[in-house]
Structure 1
Amino acid sequence: MKRMEIMKEYQRKLEGIFKNNYTVATPLLQEYDQQHQPFDSIDVRLQAINQMDIEGTIIPKESLEYVSNQLSSISANYTVEEQKSFLRNEARQIKVQKNTISIRVPEKNCRATQLIEQEQFRN
């Protein structure tokens, strides 16, 4: 089982969650979770998020940071049993916060809109 394949599968899972599709199949990830300690499974997820941040994804950076922080907290503060429970129910427990999703408006468009508004105000 290749770690990169597992990480890509986790990326597809997160992108599915982001699109409100909680049924993305993850057989390699599930197999990995069964064969390894929860800490290792969470570590694979954190590496996948880091790779997504570097290579790019449809998920905004703020949302990736949120999920990464959530996983780090679980890894550091939860018991092994709680970590196992989280991994079993992950799709239901990870929430991509809507308030962290933002669309940047290019400066040029903002400036053009401001100029148009100023002209309309003058007239």
Structure 2
Amino acid sequence: SLSIPKCRPLSPGEVLGCTAPTLTTHADAIVFVADGRFHLEAIMIANPTVPAYRYDPYSRLLTREQYDQAGMRAARRKAVESARGAQHWGVVLGTLGRQGNPALAATLTQHLQAAGARVTLFLVS
């Protein structure tokens, strides 16, 4: 059987780097049709135990894809540790399409300022 997951607010089967569905039903594999890896990596992070394959319609190649989950977690831990003592923070708000959430950026800015941090807001498209 075939399942095409949906992650709000996206269309069924649509995956962005910031919104990848966690598969709720058992899946034997993920088949991703794209010419790049960036968005596929998001669904591999959200579903680390499901094998992933990428079909590139331009090269007409089907490849088995891997993602270094442990390496990603270690890099994130290191980044958090190095940022703990920061006194000046940058908050990045994506302005491309539906990707930005101004309310979340405002809340994050308020929390940082309440903790005594200086904050610079960056709008990036």
**TM-score range, shorter-chain basis?**
under 0.3
Which entry has the higher C-alpha Rg, 1 or 2?
1
Which protein is richer in helix relative to its size?
1
TM-score by length of 2: 0.24
Bigger share in strand: 2
